[in-house]
């Protein structure tokens, strides 16, 4: 018996083929020497290209996977909490991310402030490692705090939305992207699953556009409809929420697509320069800015 974790950033959604061919590392967990030899031979083409290879027992391999994802989830949650502080102190979190990310001991990846983490791996694996630790009566207080902070993240974003627009009744709200991240159609634990129903209940008229198409999760919500293009989504909007960091959204000319002189943009991914957007006469709000 054996288990394999290839590149425990785990064949990322939207990057699976590349991650398999060019893994950061290959972790093989087995309790049988014969299996370990077979797997090393199997992965030898990747090893010869420079992939790091780790051979360990099954339990250690499993814990490597859980601990890796828990650590990355911690980095995301950490920078989100720093972003909260930046909003209070008038500091741009992008500058903080660059400043601490240049430290080789920390690294810049997963230091992008935004909505709560979602998807299939981080929520599941953080809970799994905590559950395992509880079973063995070991307190993983840091990871428990990460889970709690992430669960509260969407509520904080909703409070920020209410500070931007006091009442949403009959307001036209556009969502650009609804998946938990770009380059995937995965809706699991996406912040949009809380944001859109909440705004719908508050009387907002919501259009959303996502390159992966309409989502069944929103089919039965009042005043929520899928737009088949960015232009149709933005047209007539009072508030544009950039929820997912799709490349399609990075070069939008908001001034050209929207004639609303009181247009507001809430950029949850910090894709745009606040200075440039404000020069267009558009109210702009970002994360940690």
Q: How far apart, in Å, are the Cα atoms of 39 and each of 25, 29, 60, 148?
A: 14, 10, 16, 38
Instruction: Name the residue with tokens 């288990």.
Output: 3
Residue 86 designated active-site: no
Q: In what order do the strands lie in the sheet with 2-6?
A: 2-6, 25-30, 52-56
Answer whether 132's CB lies under 8 Å from 197's CB: no
Q: How far apart are CA 192 and CA 169, in angstroms?
A: 19
Please tell me which residue in 5, 82, 116, 121 is annotated as part of the active site: 121
Residue 280 phi, psi (nearest 5):
-80, 0
Strands 25-30 and 52-56, bridge-based pairing: parallel
H-type alpha helices, 90-180: 93-101, 122-135, 141-164
Q: Which residues pair with 27 in a beta bridge?
A: 5, 54
- HEC string of 45-92 equals HHHHCCCEEEEECHHHHHHHHHHHHHHHHHHHHHHHHHHHHHHHHCCC
The catalytic site residues sit at: 121
């Amino acid at each position: 018996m054996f288990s394999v974790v290839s590149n425990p950033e785990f064949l990322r959604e939207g990057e699976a083929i590349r991650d398999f061919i060019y893994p950061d590392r290959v972790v093989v967990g087995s309790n049988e020497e014969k299996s370990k030899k077979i797997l090393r031979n199997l992965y030898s083409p990747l090893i010869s290209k420079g992939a790091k290879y780790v051979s360990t027992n099954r339990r250690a391999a499993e814990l490597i996977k859980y601990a890796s994802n828990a650590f990355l989830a911690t980095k995301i949650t950490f920078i989100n909490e720093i972003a909260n502080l930046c909003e209070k102190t008038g500091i741009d979190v992008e500058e903080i991310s660059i400043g601490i990310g240049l430290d080789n001991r920390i690294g810049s990846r997963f230091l992008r402030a935004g909505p709560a983490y979602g998807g299939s791996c981080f929520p599941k694996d953080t809970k799994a490692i905590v559950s395992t630790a509880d079973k063995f009566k070991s307190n993983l207080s840091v990871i428990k705090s990460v889970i709690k902070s992430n669960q509260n993240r969407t509520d904080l974003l909703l409070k920020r939305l209410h500070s931007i627009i006091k009442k949403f009744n009959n307001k036209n709200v556009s969502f650009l992207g609804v998946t938990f991240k770009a380059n995937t159609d995965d809706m699991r634990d996406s912040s949009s699953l809380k944001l859109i129903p909440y705004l719908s209940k508050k009387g907002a008229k919501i259009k959303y556009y996502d390159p992966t198409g309409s989502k069944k999760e929103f089919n039965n919500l009042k005043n929520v409809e899928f737009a088949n293009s960015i232009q149709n989504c933005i047209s007539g909007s009072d508030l544009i929420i950039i929820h997912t960091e799709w490349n399609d959204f990075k070069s939008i000319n908001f001034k050209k697509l929207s004639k609303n002189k009181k247009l507001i943009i809430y950029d949850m991914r910090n894709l745009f320069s606040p200075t440039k957007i404000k020069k267009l006469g558009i109210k702009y709000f970002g994360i940690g800015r």
